[in-house]
Amino acid sequence: MSAEDQAAKLRALMQDVRHTHTIAVTSGKGGVGKSNIALNLAVLLSAAGNRVALLDADFGLANLDVLVDATVRANLAHVIAGQRKLADVVVDLPCGVQLVPGASGLAQMANLNDFQRSSLIAELTELEENNDVIVIDTGAGIGKNVLTFAGTADSVLVVATAEPTSITDAYAVIKVLHQQGCRARMSLLVNFAADRTEARATYNRIATVAREFLGVSLYDAGYILADPRVSLAVRKRQPYVLAYPRCQASRCLAALATKLCRGGGLLVRNESFFKRVANWFS
């Protein structure tokens, strides 16, 4: 299926979506391709005719601007410091996605206090007014910033690989989110899969434990096959769904985007996302 056909299919599935939907892309450990998934998913949803914002909430280790070779003159650190407004830091990417860049290498960004986080949220409400979908690239692990954004999103996409450490850490994230009262639909995406069999085994292993010990129904978001063109696209600093739209990874991710739409993943709650985030601290 061509990139144009994929976009047309997604437009048809999302024609009834009218309110802002938030998708938090998270993981238990780093190095599983989480940020690249968030970026390319945002590109696909934008190609489907949606106004999409991509929020780099991996505070302290933000890198989405690097993946797309974006020129960033200010970021969320400047917003938190009161030096810029949100509109001053948003970068309009050629693919149609609005990138909200985070900050890298600043320890204070990874450890925001409640006042700083609340002030940032107040600024970010502007995103809901101007976009249909907000894709949030959270940090890895179970830090407070991660739990805040993932715990209050409409959908949580947990990215894992078949490695034992990734499986263990993915379950840990799911467990903590559940214990914190997360009501979002949680899905698991297996990245860098050798084949469908490995991906299914990984999903089944995590989903079974989540169901038996937590009572959590973990949806199957599918898998992304290991594909050397993903690394080539990173070196080119381009989304791989644009650089190589017919490669295995692009086709797999297009299937995920379609599944999110068709399976109810883009149905929204009536309450504002950022209002839910604010309530997280009350």
- pLDDT above 70 for 245: yes
pLDDT band at 99 (very low <50, low <70, confident <90, very high): very high
Tell me the pairing of strands 98-100 and 91-92.
Answer: antiparallel
189 pLDDT higher than 70? yes
233-240, long-range: CB < 8 A, 24+ apart? 234/36, 234/67, 237/66, 237/67, 237/68, 237/69, 238/68, 238/69, 239/39, 239/40, 239/43, 239/67, 239/68, 239/95, 240/36, 240/40
User: Contact at 8 Å (CB) between 160 and 34?
Assistant: no
Residues 128-169 pLDDT 10s? 888 989 999 998 998 887 888 888 888 999 999 999 999 999
Sequence-distant (6+) residues with CB within 8 A of 59 are: 76, 102, 103, 109, 110, 112, 139, 145
Give the count of beta carbons closer than 10 Å to the beta carbon of residue 103.
Answer: 22
- Do 58 and 35 form a contact (C-beta atoms < 8 A)? yes
- Which residue has 């840990």 as its token pair? 172
Identify the CATH assignment for 3-271 out of 3.40.50.1260, 3.90.79.10, 3.30.1360.30, 3.40.50.300. 3.40.50.300
Say yes or no to pLDDT of 262 above 60: yes
Place of tokens 């048809």: 12
Q: pLDDT tens-digit profile of 208-229? A: 999 999 999 999 999 999 999 9
Per DSSP, the three-state class of 179 is helix
pTM of the model: 0.86
178 CA to centre of own chain: 18
Task: State the chain's mean pLDDT as an integer.
Answer: 85
128 within 8 A of 270, measured Cβ to Cβ:
no
Beta strands in the chain (DSSP E): 21-27, 52-57, 91-92, 98-100, 133-140, 155-160, 185-193, 219-225
Which one, of 51, 55, 103, lies nearest residue 77 by Cα? 103
Q: Are 159 and 130 in contact (CB under 8 A)?
A: no
Contact 224, 190 (CB under 8 A): yes
Confidence of residue 267 (pLDDT cuts 50, 70, 90): very low
Has residue 281 got a pLDDT over 50? no
